[in-house]
Amino acid sequence: MIKAVRGTRDLLPPDTALWNFVEAAGRDVFRAYNFQEIRTPVFEETQLFSRSVGEETDIVSKEMFTWEDRGRAQSEKGQSLTLRPENTAGVVRAYIEHKLWERGLNKLYYIGPQFRRERPQKGRYRQFYQIGAEIIGPPTAGSESPARDAEVIELLATFLDRLGISGWNLELNSVGCPNDRAAFNEALRKALQPVVSKMCADEPCRQHFEAVQEILKAVGVPFVMNDRLVRGLDYYTRTAFEFTHGALGAQNAILGGGRYDGLSESLGGPSAPGIGFAIGEDRLVMSLKESADAVLRKPNVYIAPLGPGMNREAARLARELRRHDLVVELGDETFRLKKSFETATKLGAKFTLIVGENEVKADSFAVKNLETGEQVSVPRQELVAKIQSDR
């Protein structure tokens, strides 16, 4: 028997209802913050990731799915391609290729699969899913402002609250810019002076980070400082952050992100300071497992056709009800009534609606409330109101 490849999995109902709930909530929040969706290819030229993520990172050196795409004809050159291990590099590539700086400040989000050849473990897969966003644009559009950092972080707090995730923690740090890192490394090598003594009070990165904190305090987003917090990709600068949650155990990070000023220039583009984040959707859904039953929308009504020719009448009735945003499941005219009731109960339907020859002639149908056991006859024109009033 052929099975799913190691490190991948099938997402099946009813779990997919929870995934759809998360993604729909994300889209609603992004809309409120004026983000627009971008969809980039799932594979790119390998050098995009080696130049942006970093040659020495585990992602590039050990985890990427890379292959040589040979030309179909001898005159065509082959190229090295890679399934995307993350999405920021692809978004910045698209920003440069399509000259998105002409639009000013770009607020973009994406939802989709990423690929890394990691050791599979709980909540981590070789094909995994991310919800992410980026704010990127020319400095003149305000892309370098600490207000953008705070906006992204506050958006995430709103999103987690919208999902009903309580007890999250936000950890903040600034990893500085390349100039800061060089000075820091020098201080470590000499080991003669405290790192603090090499930083002046009016350092731009420090001012930027302090402004981010001030805005977060003003909007009521709680955070803690973590001077050991770093990001694993080379392109990160300045603000770095993580949201964590105790429900995920020792590996408790739900999402992370930070600023990546300079990434566009490293890929041959113009100056385009940016900040973004990526949510590990697999792990986020894990933290919501207890909410799965509340999210799954069960049938409002199960229609039970009784006798020959009733499938047609039941289908007509189902179409009318579905036009009013009711979830309808159809039985079959060959089923006994007992089987229909058992099936409706198993599906979690609130009502069973019986469609028999007598009901069709009278244009009034038996509706049974499966929670209370009450059964009443309801005229066709009143069915929607009856079902909606009790759902």
- Residue 178: pLDDT band (50, 70, 90) is low
Residue with tokens 């209370």: 372
Indicate if the pLDDT at residue 292 is higher than 70. no
In which element (H, E) is residue 230 found?
none
Q: Please, are residues 139 and 147 in contact by the beta-carbon 8 Å criterion?
A: no
Per the DSSP assignment, residues forming a β-bridge with 240 are: 173, 258
- Indicate the average pLDDT of the chain: 87
Tens digit of each residue's pLDDT (9 = 90 or more) over 19-58: 999 999 999 999 999 999 999 999 999 999 988 887 777 7
* Integer Cα distance of 317 and 328 in angstroms: 10
- Cα within 13 Å of Cα(359), Cβ side: 24
Q: Are 148 and 106 in contact (CB under 8 A)?
A: no
Q: Identify whether the C-beta of residue 272 lies closer than 8 Å to the C-beta of residue 105.
A: no
Task: Give CA angle at 388 (382, 390), nearest 5°.
Answer: 105
Choose the most confident range, by mean pLDDT, from 163-177, 277-291, 344-358: 344-358
Q: 255 or 188, which is more confident?
A: 255
For a pLDDT cut of 90, what percent of the chain falls above it? 66
197-218 burial, b if ≥16 CB within 10 A, otherwise e? eebeeebebeebbeebbebbee
pLDDT band at 283 (very low <50, low <70, confident <90, very high): confident
Cβ atoms within 10 Å, residue 20: 13
pTM: 0.82
214-234 pLDDT, tens digit per residue, is 999 999 999 999 888 876 666
For 117-159, how does the pLDDT look when each residue is reduced to its tens digit (9 = 90+)?
988 777 789 999 999 999 999 999 999 999 999 999 999 999 9
* pLDDT tens string 237-269: 888 999 988 765 555 778 899 998 889 998 999
**Quick one: pLDDT at residue 192?**
47
| pLDDT of the residue at 188 | 47
Q: How far is CA 310 from CA 29, 236, 366, 375, in A?
A: 45, 64, 14, 20
Which token pair is 306?
């009784």
Helix (H, G, I), strand (E, B) or coil at 364: strand
Each residue's pLDDT tens digit, 351-366: 999 999 999 999 999 9
pLDDT class of 306 with cuts at 50, 70, 90: very high
Residue 322 has pLDDT above 70, yes or no: yes
**The dihedral formed by the CA atoms of 102, 108, 110 and 116, expressed in degrees to the nearest 10:** 70
Q: How far apart are CA 81 and CA 102, in angstroms?
A: 29
Bond into 120 cis (ω within 30): no
Structure confidence at residue 123 (pLDDT) = 72
Given a cut of 60, whether residue 305 has pLDDT beyond it is: yes
